[in-house]
Structure 1
């Protein structure tokens, strides 16, 4: 059974030889593990860890991702800096926008033609034996918060909903069209439409159900629908406490929830399995908030075994961390996780 076959069967609740395995980490962790295992590159590392998924990305060919002050930016022109690979906004370029006309005048709106789709299709085609995840990373709500400032964007949803919707529309129209072209060019190689956006804090939902229905659902539905039109499973990365939104996301077409931040409110794996097992797939849940950074290798092994036992009756589970692995996690704990994954994944 190839990884592609295993993932597609696992995520449609058909019998498989083992649960699937995935890996996500900052680049320093890749380097540490390459050195530990003595492998030459990241693809060889994925083979060594028995990872069933591949995540090709298109190269950016648009405006330079650097601002006038020499700071790196994302493709919305937001300057970022941070620890490792994860950059947080240094400023919010639309913080003082008060009208749609000012919004339209922003010079750093990206265009769908700013990606190299030919290169993207070639990269996707390389992984014929693996589950390939594709489509645009649909972080529209986070992007709006980063462009305007989170506090201000939340206030705009109440005080100036017309402007809030205009910001979301500019972002989502770009993402929707980009994703459509990605599937047109490379859809025959892609198995899962993978998107991500956050709607939960550690303690609970980020907003009321009414706000979610107005400012998230219609835009997220457009992202999901691109993948659905192309016959793909829908996988959504959403951090924090998203238990409140799971029924709605399933109603919208969600197949796979990732990364399962187990220490957030309402995200206990046993409870989620009992409520949604056999109807929704779960990808992640090996705890990066406590067990991996602060536990022992045996604690990590025990948690992997417990997760497999929790989801074994239902299927549709992938062993993976509950967030990207950071370089402050002891290397022996990461190694223990993937050794345990290979040992306990078999069904």
Structure 2
């Protein structure tokens, strides 16, 4: 099988010739630039002093290139979005040295000038004339949002238009880029093409709520205020999600006209519905606030395309899975096996025919960073043998591979995958 055929078989719940591997096709299945550099050096793909590109400046994820895809047998490739979280393009690369000494290349508009305390600030669209929207603390590993919430003194002044300002209808220039790049990836590679999603579909993604790419965000833009609003401003949020869905549906149609079936997977939602111990929201609240809009977009996709729909939702979401299934999601990520009620055998038994599990490769909170290489091997082997029967499984870490992972553990992770795939 080609890589694309392998992924298609798995997500269609057929048994592929071997388990597909993803690394770097999405912003939630990538690898921190520091760990990427260590891995490439260990594999002989780069030198100690050779830089790697920062593919996602928000989370400081590194660019997985074709050399690494070939060596590891990665079966996926991303269709990159035009702009990053900060609202500027990844272009005109410049060298920088990360806090831990990793040599990297960052986009031209990525600010590398530290504050007096050593923090690095990032600015919307790279515009230093407006307040910063992100902060990477000195010796940190990724950016945190800076809350720029304006005081809400009059509830009647909340406007749907303010809350959806960043979501626009895709223009001809953007669509031409996606058409050209999707065609290139489809024809010049045999890998499954994965797209991170069109504007308007990502309802309530907390990484996007603060408006990191916006110069002057209005509306509900503070994390705690947003979560409170799920209970106290339901009618307003329904209007917001309805408007977003209108935009999302228009963009899905335009995007499909541009790329057709040259992509195989689309990420529709990155909203986290689970905490470590339980869902963030009840199934009843999901049905009321999110499900109707997810259903509308997923129904359009399934009726008009062959794409499979990917939802990223961290934490303990077992109780929400029946509704996510009915909402039309095909792929569940990151499959946080360390969270409550997320036992791999239970997931496979109860939902193995409903979802493709994309992730679930190892416990990223303890085993991968703190376990021995042998413990990594044992856990990866167990999880692979649990999830892979009858397809419906794409191997990846649970969420992004973080910084400070021992390189011996990284090698054990991928070597054990190869031995069991």
Residue of structure 1 equivalent to 2:198: 136
Query: How far apart, CA to CA, are the structure 1 residues paired with 2:414 and 2:184?
Result: 24
Determine the C-alpha separation between the residues in 1 that align with 2:144 and 2:353: 37
CA distance in 2, matches of 1:284, 1:45: 19
Query: In 2, Cα distance between the equivalents of 1:85 and 1:176?
Result: 36
Q: Could you tell me which of 118, 121, 145 is aligned with 2:176?
A: 118
Offset at 1:295? Answer: 0.7
1:258 match: 333
**In terms of mean alpha carbon deviation, does 265-274 or 216-225 score higher?**
216-225
1:191 matched to 2:264: yes
Question: Structure 1 pair 98/176, CA: closer, same or farther in 2 (3 Å)?
Answer: farther
Q: Deviations over 1:178-197 (max 9, x none)?
A: 33332221122111122322
- Pick from 159, 173, 176 the counterpart of residue 232 of structure 2: 159
Please list every run of at least 4 consecutive aligned residues from structure 1 whose deviation after the TM superposition is greater than 6 angstroms: none
CA contact (8 A) 2:381 2:416 kept: yes
1:104 is aligned to 2:161:
yes
What is the match of residue 37 of structure 2?
31
Report if the CA contact (8 A) 1:100-1:163 is conserved.
no
Residue 88 of structure 1, aligned match among 125, 132, 144: 144
Q: Report SS of the residue matched to 2:277.
A: coil
Alignment of 1:316-335 (within 5 A): 316-335=392-411
Q: 1:11-33, CA deviations, whole angstroms, 9 ceiling, x for partnerless residues?
A: 21223211111112123333332
Deviation per residue, 1:131-163 (Å, 9 max, x gap):
111233743212475453233233333333232
1:224 aligns with 2:267: no
Corresponding residue of 2:275 = 201
> TM-score with structure 1 length normalisation?
0.87
Q: CA deviation at 1:312?
A: 3.8
* Per-residue CA distance 1:281-302 (angstroms, 9 max, x = gap): 2111121111101111111111
Contact 2:163 2:240 in 1 (8 A): no
Deviates more, 1:228-237 or 1:1-10: 228-237
Segment drifting more, 306-315 vs 79-88: 79-88
Secondary structure of 1:127's counterpart equals helix
The gaps in structure 2 that reach 5 residues or longer are: 24-29, 47-63, 89-108, 110-120, 211-219
1:245: Cα distance to partner?
1.0
Q: What residue ranges of structure 1 are gaps of 5+ in the alignment?
A: none
Deviation (angstroms), 1:265: 1.0
Alpha-carbon distance in 1 for matches of 2:151, 2:273: 21
Task: Indicate if the aligned counterparts of 1:98 and 1:163 stay in contact, CA closer than 8 A.
Answer: no
Bigger Cα displacement from structure 2, 200-209 vs 141-150:
141-150
Paired with 1:190 and 1:107, the residues of 2 have a C-alpha distance of 26
Q: CA deviation at 1:252?
A: 1.9
**Contact conserved, 2:334 with 2:399, CA < 8 A, in 1?**
yes
1:178–1:61 Cα change, 3 Å: farther
Give the CA deviation at 1:38. 3.1
**After alignment, is 9-18 or 239-248 more displaced?**
9-18
Residues in 1 aligned to 2:279 and 2:323: alpha-carbon distance in whole angstroms? 13
| Larger helix share, 1 or 2 | 1
Cα–Cα, structure 1 residues 223 and 43, in superposed 2: closer, same or farther, change >3 Å? farther
User: 1:165-207: CA deviations, max 9, x gaps?
Assistant: 2333444444443333322211221111223221111110111
